[in-house]
Amino acid sequence: MAGYKKYDPRLESLVMETKTFWDAEVGDLSEQDKHWLADAVHQEPQKASKINYERSHTGFTREITVTVPDIERLYQERYTG
């Protein structure tokens, strides 16, 4: 199966775990901001800038690296509806 580095709806049905990483350019965020940003980015993984699926024993782990454009989009969505 190729394409583990882009959103794949077929793999989504097999995701058993999620992990969130932070791009080096993101800088310092409060733990509260990191928490809601991580939750929000995993709620709509198809919109994430950097996504990766890793095989696990029971399915796949979805890994999202949150980038500055992701944060800008999520704040805009949060405050403009």
pLDDT at 55: 94
pLDDT at 5: 95
Segment 50-76, tens digit of pLDDT: 999 999 999 999 999 999 999 999 999
Name the percent of the chain lying above pLDDT 70. 96
Domain assignment present for residue 1? The answer is no
Please tell me what DSSP assigns to residue 4.
T
Q: Is the Cβ–Cβ distance between 5 and 52 less than 8 Å?
A: yes
Bridge pairing between strands 50-55 and 15-22: unpaired
Domain assignment present for residue 36? The answer is yes
Domain assignment present for residue 52? The answer is yes
15 is in which domain, residue-wise? 9-80
What φ, ψ does residue 63 adopt, rounded to 5°? -115, 125
Q: Is the Cβ–Cβ distance between 75 and 33 less than 8 Å?
A: no
pLDDT at 3: 59
Domain assignment present for residue 2? The answer is no
Distances (CA, A) of 40 to 14, 43, 45, 61, 70: 20, 5, 9, 17, 10
